[in-house]
Structure 1
Amino acid sequence: MTDTTSQLDGSVIDFEAAEPAAWSAATWFAVLSMAATSFALVSAEFLPAGLLTPMARDLGISEGTAGQVVTATASVGAVTALLSNVLIRRLNRKTVLVGLTALAVGSNILAALAADFWLLLLGRAGLGIALSAFWALSVAVVARLVGADAAGRGMAIVTLGVSLATIAAPSMGALISDWLGWRSAMAMTAGFAALAMLLQVLSLPTLPASTSNSLADVFQLTRRRGVQLGMIAILLLMTGHFAGSVYVRPFLEQVTLLETGPIALALLGFGIAAVIGNIAGGRMADANIRVALAVTAALMAFAALALVLWGAHIGVAFGFVTFWGFAFGMAPVVLPTNLSRAAPDALEPAGSLMVVSFQVAISIGAVFGGYVVDHYGALGPLTLTAVLAASTVALALLQPRS
């Protein structure tokens, strides 16, 4: 989402080719509806980080098992990222986007009402479909809304929804679950999605299908060494991140001995730092992507290791949870940019591989993190984060200079 070029209607578009024209009120409304959708979907995706303990207690399962709601979202999303362009190639993109957001509404309602763990997983799987298909379409749709010369500006506004969700979802989830229960927090995300869907219906113009990619286009890219290294970097760093971050609340409860209020503040600090890290990551990626990747991974490894060693102290825990958030904020900018540099002539298929890599990493991270927290305690997942992030530093140093 930070690329400067993309493909639309079979040609390469230079997003910086001309000075962007002023947008009409209708264009602003349409772009903001996309930003609202990204906020709603990502809020629902990140919500379990603040709900894990009460969710596990209510359903009578371990915290490690409860963490697999993240796995359900990501694993279904990985398949969706590969197939979405193939399955919807003839459908109007406005219809698809509204339908995906409606699916998110229903999925969040199902999760909020789930009487057992399997219904909860089913609801989260539906969210995974909506989330991945939305991101697979987002760049092309925004380019059509604002024009090729302003597509980068448009995507920056759409990803603002991600930044706001990163700040709001975990902390709001923790607070609302403490006041009203975790089911009310899940229902809140359904409300966000319903509002986003209404904005789409009112603001998006008709968007007839213009182009699509085949699976052959996507798989062809995996033969390139730069793409392979880019995918491995995503798998290592994001597996490490989600192996540990999903279980930050149990760590803060069991090791730092914090109550719900301070935990919510720590998660809020994580989110604010992630926004700052996003800005810093964009600037570093433009300057030197190889160095940016190494720095991002090194910061995350250091933050996780510091929590393992000194996280029992409240000040240290707050500081390095925030530090971790800064590193995580850099990652969604640096990792896709790193992958796209290896395929400047095929950015849409590269984008599909990027989404798949992220979703697979989230799934693996949640699975291994759940196993480790159940068998080795709250320190285990963060140790795994430090090891995998450090491995990403080594991978970054092996990559060819850009």
Structure 2
Amino acid sequence: MTDTTLSLDRAAIDIESGASEETSWSAATWLAVLSMAATSFALVSAEFLPAGLLTPMARDLGISEGTAGQVVTATASVGAVAALLSNVLIGKLNRKTVLIVLSALAIGSNILSALATDFWLLLLGRAGLGISLSAFWALSVAVVARLVGANATGRGMAIVTLGVSLATIAAPSLGALISDWLGWRVAMAMTAGLAALAMLLQFISLPTLPAAASNSLTDVLRLTRRRRIQFGMLAILVLMTGHFAGSVYVRPFLEKVTLLGTGPIALALLGFGIAAVVGNVAGGRMADANIRMALVTTSILMGLAALALVVWGAHIGVAFGFVTLWGFAFGMAPVVLPTNLSRAAPDALEASGSLMVVSFQVAITTGAVVGGYIVDTYGASAPLTLTAILAAVTTALALLQPRG
């Protein structure tokens, strides 16, 4: 047991050594990484839960469904600011302590949301979740690199982001079922239980993670002068804007172009989710082997899937196949894009993590707004066309990106 703990501590201290290879992860390292995956599952489950609760939540609080949907906007907008400032505000606090406090904030926020008697209390609870979610992701790459070594960061992040894929599949559907059986407040309270379990795992399994240095806002912004950081952030902004502009409107596309009913659409989206889980694993392995090729592969597969749907999506078999391929590419993206950005700043992983989360949040917001305008103006196929175009731009960025 002592040898295992010392092995984990050495991996946490020596970020650059890459000594922790695939075959040499100890049981303690696995448990620590799995605690991070459990945290991502708990936080993202809470983030996506409202998608399955909007109708009963709106009815109970006496608001419209459109207004209730703004709880998602509150989480994302507060999260963007939190991501930029989180690594500045935590200073030299031990990172294990910070992660446990963030989980405690998620517990409190989810309980407040579950008990909210009016819309403003619900928004306050969701804002707290946004802080916890974004600060966790801003720290995630740096913490994983310290746990497993820089050369295995992609594999480690693949395990952590596996929680995201599982949450996006499970949270909306299970939330809707639990809401029908026990009420939306019980469903919301259950996410507090998930966060409590994650916090317990963090407390048990994470080694002490003293801060190597404190960050200032100037330090974070100074990173944007690096060419590879600029390319890495652009890759996130462009590819994820394209993804969220198109993927949100895959269901209308399948309804209006492929002419599928509710059952087949649910099956197609299940295939998307399962493929995303597989893409997570593949993305981690490719990112560690060749990050440039991993980014090129991710963007080409997403662009190919979107373009094929636009051209041949009226055929049911083609639609199912390329929705699944899109899911595989999307599963790769949350591993490949952060790993690519972190390679541009191995000396400032926490600061680059902040820039990574801000880039994702801006891309999510931009994609949703632009995609909504395009689908209303040009029809169901137009957002997918934009996805294909922006994926092609990302491929060019990956090929032009300076080697570092």
Give the shorter-chain TM-score range: 0.7 to 0.9
Q: 1:215: how far off?
A: 2.0
> Distance in 2 between the 1:265 and 1:81 partners?
35
Question: Any residues of structure 2 matched to 1:81-120 within 5 Å, and which?
Answer: 81-111=83-113
Deviations 1:340-393 (A, max 9, x none): 333344333223222221122112222223344455554443333233223223
Structure 2 letter corresponding to 1:13: E
> Distance in 2 between the 1:294 and 1:144 partners?
27
CA contact (8 A) 2:141 2:342 kept: no
Pick from 366, 369, 372 the counterpart of residue 367 of structure 1. Answer: 369
Q: 1:220: how far off?
A: 1.6
> Distance in 2 between the 1:217 and 1:295 partners?
32
Pick from 382, 388, 393 the counterpart of residue 395 of structure 2. Answer: 393
Deviations 1:77-101 (A, max 9, x none): 2222221122122444444323322
SS in 2 for 1:231: helix
Specify whether residues 318 and 127 from structure 1 end up closer, same or farther in structure 2 by C-alpha distance, changes over 3 A only. Answer: farther
Question: Any residues of structure 2 matched to 1:60-79 within 5 Å, and which?
Answer: 60-62=64-66, 69-79=71-81
Q: 1:239: how far off?
A: 0.9
Matched with 2:7 is none
Paired positions, count: 393
Identity of aligned residues (%): 81
SS in 1 for 2:16: strand
CA contact (8 A) 2:141 2:339 kept: no
Matched with 2:130 is 128
Matched with 2:18 is 15
Gaps of 5+ in 2: 1-10
CA contact (8 A) 2:299 2:329 kept: yes
Question: Any residues of structure 2 matched to 1:1-400 within 5 Å, and which?
Answer: 13-16=16-19, 23=26, 29-47=31-49, 60-62=64-66, 69-111=71-113, 121-142=123-144, 155=157, 157-173=159-175, 185-201=187-203, 203-204=205-206, 209=211, 211-253=213-255, 255-256=257-258, 258=260, 260-376=262-378, 378-400=380-402
SS in 1 for 2:384: helix
Worse-matched range after superposition: 73-82 or 170-179: 170-179
CA RMSD of aligned residues (A): 4.0
Specify whether residues 117 and 383 from structure 1 end up closer, same or farther in structure 2 by C-alpha distance, changes over 3 A only. Answer: farther
Worse-matched range after superposition: 371-380 or 228-237: 371-380
Q: 1:133: how far off?
A: 1.0
Matched with 2:3 is none
Structure 1 letter corresponding to 2:320: F
SS in 2 for 1:14: coil
Gaps of 5+ in 1: 1-6
CA contact (8 A) 2:21 2:148 kept: no
SS in 1 for 2:214: coil
Deviations 1:111-142 (A, max 9, x none): 55667776655443322211111122334445
Deviations 1:59-112 (A, max 9, x none): 5345xx776554433332222222112212244444432332232234344555
Matched with 1:4 is none
> Distance in 2 between the 1:113 and 1:244 partners?
35
Structure 1 letter corresponding to 2:239: L
Specify whether residues 392 and 32 from structure 1 end up closer, same or farther in structure 2 by C-alpha distance, changes over 3 A only. Answer: closer
Deviations 1:31-80 (A, max 9, x none): 43322111111223344566678878995345xx7765544333322222
Q: 1:289: how far off?
A: 3.5
Deviations 1:134-181 (A, max 9, x none): 122334445666788987775554344234334433554566567777
CA contact (8 A) 1:8 1:140 kept: no
Deviations 1:184-227 (A, max 9, x none): 65444333223323434455566555532222222222112222
